[in-house]
Structure 1
Amino acid sequence: MIALLKFVHIAALAVWCAGLLILPLLLTGSHVRTPQPKAARMRIFAHNAYNYCVSPAAVVATVAGGSLIFARELFQPWLFAKLGFVGALVVIHAYLGHCVVELGEKGRFSPLVHPFLVLAAAFAVMTAVLLLVLAKPVISPDLVPDWLRVPLNRQLPFPTVPS
């Protein structure tokens, strides 16, 4: 079961990361100076790639990864650092989705960040995730503040069981 979860996680992660690297290139390929038929094909391809390939792969990768965490009962500080970087990948994913939607609705987009910088950021974050997973560095729990490590034994401000 663990081997199957790992396979699904790694396969979906490969598709997701490849999509996050190709989408900025597709966005720059649909620039104003590109001939109209080619730019239209690039817009349609970017839309379909994001909606039907990259986003489902992201969901499958995160669900399989979360399942692996609980299946292996792996709660190490390096893993929480990795999850922070995965959060950065999700932010990049959402930003690229915004760009794809804007490109589809207006036929052009005005990026907040140059697509090549998004490409570089995605590559850097993916490299950090890979290094954390392969090295599994020992991270001292003392780096985390006490209020995150020590339970306060307080009642929740809302009922947990429906009345």
Structure 2
Amino acid sequence: MVLDTTPVYAESGGQVGDVARIESKGAMFEVAGAHYLAHRVISHEGVLTQGQLDVGPSVTVSVDQHARVATAANHSATHLLHAALQQVLGSHVQQKGSLVEPQRLRFDFSHNDAVTKDQLEHIEMLVNSQVRANDEVLLKSCRWMMP
């Protein structure tokens, strides 16, 4: 489903798209994810669970805030992990890819050697200490312009 405007985040840069619900006059569409079809055109992918949706009428889009907040936390964790990797392994460490979901994250990085158990424990300690510091996270809603 494509809408003229949407609050739904589309999958990008390894981060999964939002889970949401689209409703209109007795119809309900459960959004399982979203992807870019073209420049600034987002496809909402999911299942019509009730009624029928027609072209034209207004709809209400509700983003699953629990999933979005969990994904945002894991997104922030990738930055903490990258900083810890550079601190322990060296500034040459670069991010090569990632997967950011509500339940987990994967962080692919470059390094010349295998990470030792001691290095891994040090990296884990650095990331966990940053999380436990419970620093304030600022959220700002703004209009996003895809490059």
- Relative to its length, the structure with more strand (as a share) is 2
- Relative to its length, the structure with more helix (as a share) is 1
Greater relative contact order (CA < 8 Å, ≥ 6 in sequence): 1
TM-score > 0.5, shorter chain as reference? no
TM-score (norm 2): 0.29
TM-score (norm 1): 0.27
